[in-house]
Amino acid sequence: MRTLITGIGQLVSGDVTAPLLEGDSILVDGTTITAIGTGLDDGADVVIDAAGATVIPGLIDSHAHPTLGDYTPRQRTADFIESSLHGGVTTMISAGEVHVPGRPKDIVGLKALAVVASRAFQNLRPGGVKVHAGAPVLELGLEEHDFAELAAAGIRLLGEIGLGSVKTGAQAAPMVAWARTYGIVSTIHTGGPSIAGSSQIDADTVLEAAPDIVGHINGGTTSMPDGDIERLVASPIALEIVHCGNGRTALLTARLATEASALDRVILGNDAPSGTGVVPLGILRTIAHLASLGGVPPEVAIAWATGNTARVHRLNTGIIAPGKDADLCFVDAPQGGTSTTALQALAAGDLCGVSMVLVDGEIRIGRSRNTAPARRAAAVVKGSGPAAAGH
């Protein structure tokens, strides 16, 4: 099926090096973007009129803690993943299934849980959200062959280092190296302990472990000292800012990354469900926080939540470009605000209204039930689409 999107007022690419695109039309063939331009028209099966709104890549939550299914026992909340779709999130990445009741910590059990979680979410897309799960939490006793077995079973993530019995940089470093050898992306917990059994992790530990991602550099929820953040921004490691962390050090990280010309290393996550709660609009809120209080151009903050994360995790999404997955979000300034565009609203600290979300080229929702209504709402003008959602 071919889908044509017309009437785009502003187009945000997700590419931090060129965050704004020229054009008012996108052509999708099946699940893939095939063309971007002005006045495209090829007799598509479905035509969506963006009505002058902004189109951005579907947001990627780089730090989630799913269990099995769309339920979190940590907050006793159902459908939290589907609800995040209404905040523009089309991809969610597990930082470890640590809230699974009775989570096994023996080597056989932790590998089994990772494979089960990964394959379960390959078969289940809550609301359409792509959940990349199966992130084993490192425990002492893991050996190189375990990482080879995990990779052969399709595991591409490690859970947050520091949530299990591996607590020091010296313990983690060989495991991180093994993971990298087999194409597995590693994230380390930073800051104070978040759950019983987790560890306080500082910059020295991170630098010795040398993971791919500094997990919640602004705290999960308790932040590291400013000096530690400065040292990690100066390293080559990806820097993850999360919603459920310290707002002040989120802004500090953004400033330091800007000064260090490290905009390509910043990614955004929610870190929910957690003790902070379930926050379906957490990624949008973080973008607005960074744009309105941190002076980060909103289109750059969006790239942090899309293209940067996709690159770190080697995903074919997060960028609006031919050949990329057609994960798209239609946003505009909220009704009742002072802004006239989505980017203006974010820069002013308001959340934009979501009026439609596509995942792999399929319309998954119309008007978001979680955001304020958008000033200009996308609509299907040819073919069929979902009814607009209400509150």
Same domain, 82 and 180: yes
In the chain, the largest separation of any two C-alpha atoms, in whole Å, equals 60
Judged by DSSP in three states, 185 sits in strand
Same domain, 64 and 172: yes
Residue type, 259: E
Query: In the prediction, which pLDDT does 69 show?
Result: 97
Same domain, 141 and 11: no
Q: Is position 376 within any domain?
A: yes
CA 22 to chain centre: 25
Q: Is position 391 within any domain?
A: no
Q: Which residue has the tokens 């550099």?
A: 217
Cβ–Cβ under 8 Å, residues 371 and 87: yes
Measured at the CA of 340, the angle between CA 335 and CA 345, to 5 degrees, comes to 80
Q: Is position 7 within any domain?
A: yes
Q: Is position 172 within any domain?
A: yes
Question: pLDDT digit string (tens) for 18-56?
Answer: 999 999 999 999 999 999 999 998 789 999 999 999 999
Cβ–Cβ under 8 Å, residues 233 and 253: yes
Distance CA 171, CA 199 (A): 13
Question: pLDDT digit string (tens) for 234-250?
Answer: 999 999 999 999 999 99
Same domain, 28 and 110: no
Span 381-391, average pLDDT: 66
Question: pLDDT digit string (tens) for 111-130?
Answer: 999 999 999 999 999 999 99
CATH number at residue 13: 2.30.40.10
Q: Is position 308 within any domain?
A: no
CATH number at residue 186: 3.20.20.140
Q: Is the pLDDT of residue 389 over 60?
A: no
Residue 353 burial by Cβ neighbours in a 10 Å radius (0-12, 13-18, 19+): buried
Q: Is the pLDDT of residue 197 over 90?
A: no
Find residue 356's DSSP bridge partners: 330
Same domain, 7 and 106: no
Span 79-84, average pLDDT: 98
- pTM above 0.85? yes
> What is the average pLDDT score of the chain?
96
- Neighbouring C-beta atoms of residue 225, cutoff 10 Å: 12
Q: Is the pLDDT of residue 390 over 50?
A: no
Question: pLDDT digit string (tens) for 304-335?
Answer: 999 999 999 999 999 999 999 999 999 999 99
Span 74-88, average pLDDT: 97
- CA nearest to 184, candidates 92, 68, 62, 312: 312
How many structural domains does the chain have? 2
Confidence band (pLDDT; 50, 70, 90) for 195? low
Query: In the prediction, which pLDDT does 388 show?
Result: 45
Q: H or E element: which one contains 366?
A: none
Confidence band (pLDDT; 50, 70, 90) for 384? confident
Judged by DSSP in three states, 217 sits in coil
Same domain, 9 and 27: yes
Range scoring the smallest mean pLDDT among 25-29, 78-82, 273-277, 333-337:
273-277
Q: Is position 48 within any domain?
A: yes
Q: Is the pLDDT of residue 386 over 80?
A: no
Total count of residues recorded for the chain: 391
Query: In the prediction, which pLDDT does 184 show?
Result: 98
Pairing of strands 77-78, 362-365: unpaired
Cβ–Cβ under 8 Å, residues 150 and 111: yes
Q: H or E element: which one contains 116?
A: helix 107-123
Q: Which residue has the tokens 């929610």?
A: 270
Question: pLDDT digit string (tens) for 70-79?
Answer: 999 999 999 9
The residues, ordered by sequence, that sit 6+ positions from 18 with a Cβ below 8 Å of its Cβ are: none
Domain that holds residue 18: 2-56+319-382
Same domain, 34 and 104: no
Cβ–Cβ under 8 Å, residues 303 and 16: yes
Q: Is the pLDDT of residue 391 over 70?
A: no
Decide which of 232, 260, 280 is a domain's last residue: 280
Same domain, 43 and 151: no
Query: In the prediction, which pLDDT does 12 show?
Result: 98
Decide which of 280, 300, 334 is a domain's last residue: 280
Q: Is the peptide bond before 273 cis (omega within 30 degrees of 0)?
A: yes
Cβ–Cβ under 8 Å, residues 281 and 272: no
Same domain, 40 and 88: no
Pairing of strands 32-37, 25-29: antiparallel
Span 161-167, average pLDDT: 95
Same domain, 6 and 36: yes
Count of CA atoms in the C-beta half-sphere (13 A) of 9: 18
Span 267-296, average pLDDT: 96
Q: How far apart, in Å, are the Cα atoms of 156 and each of 56, 61, 142, 181, 235? A: 26, 16, 16, 11, 23
Same domain, 188 and 77: yes
Identify each DSSP E strand in the chain by its residue range.
2-6, 10-12, 20-21, 25-29, 32-37, 46-49, 54-57, 59-64, 71-72, 77-78, 89-94, 130-132, 187-188, 213-214, 238-242, 266-269, 328-332, 353-359, 362-365, 379-382
Query: In the prediction, which pLDDT does 193 show?
Result: 86
Q: Is position 88 within any domain?
A: yes
Confidence band (pLDDT; 50, 70, 90) for 196? low
Q: Is position 309 within any domain?
A: no
Same domain, 138 and 243: yes
Paired tokens of 329: 């979000």
Paired tokens of 175: 């495991």
